[in-house]
Structure 1
């Protein structure tokens, strides 16, 4: 019995999915079962979402207030969102102000500041120091010495190292220096890693600046909500780079 089953199974024909006929090749690939299942699951998810929204609409309390009521309006049967002042906040600042509180922003700003300090301590900012322009005055005795003056001889270093402001050894130190020749691939990898670190540092500095501006705006907003005898006077409007400036009248605390 078992040998007959094996023989029958070995003689079974392999059924493959049919291909798209040549006359319908311009319509693209023939839809397979997995394509149909994916399309059916997507339709079922949409139907479930619509069913849930209809249920929420039926059970909604008409007297319930939510902030979107005053942030949107209907004009001629069309729904419109109220535009915010685009010159005052960046999208990142608006997103932070809407979703997080002042304590969270302060915590994130402190974390970014600590990470910036660790990165600066590790990188030493040597490349930035070499790119910074400054002046160095050398004094000479007469015009003849000024014409024959050589910066490399005065600094007692190699001419190729004159432009460096950090790690500029003298000639006697270079003579005693033992060079460890590294593989070119290792040097390229180290330079690439250093470039990534500087890019990360720049991104974190910008992030810390954004968080500082958001924190200042939120602190000012909370200060304006406090009850005062005299309304503070606005000195300048807020921008993307700074919080608005108000002049508060001094009030003696009871």
Structure 2
């Protein structure tokens, strides 16, 4: 048997001494670590008191500062003024009105820029592309255009033909309407562009073959023109994307300024007289219940207080108050 095994087999279990039964009212029995903490705290307080006593003993009795004339004490306690004196209610109302006017001015200038961008977008003829085009608008860009009211919310998927319904009262009217539609289709099918050349018996002169040099020159010109057209098309798409991006940012800014202006107006009304009650608090409309699992684990499953809940700017809605109807004299 090794020495380590021999020493570990017959080893006494040392138990921590607890408080005696008749002294349980005094609390837990103090251990050495508790005594060390208490002693350090006591000595630190004694050192601070000794330093203060030393400062009092060594202070200059003739010491004077002009700020001493402005200071005051109450029952021997020095009172320090923080400097933020509360303003009168009328003055606060005037200040809030000025802030509201500034926000209104900035919003008006932003709306002018939004209208300018919307006019530039509406001038583009190929704003809504067909389905087989590479420059088709994606879903995010369509949402931006709908938010700016350039496109209607009722617009369906692009490229689909609209159905025109005709209502008839009797069978004869149905036959007449279908006959008119067939006649229109026949006219379109037999248009001059779709009809081929008619043989009148004359000799047709075949066009002479162009020289090889001229053909190569035309081919080079065609390649250059296609390259220029592709480059202009790409620049056109880049300009459209930049305009849509700027329009989205300015719409979000206008929404925030609108909510800010409404908040200033509500604060001025709340400072006035009259009974009111809160109908709706500032809240998130969607995505309110979605929380991160790490955040839930960090607070050990406890629910957040309404004051500590972070409000997202995308889903923020201002608070709503309802004033009691009062009779005007």
TM-score (norm 2): 0.32
TM-score (norm 1): 0.40
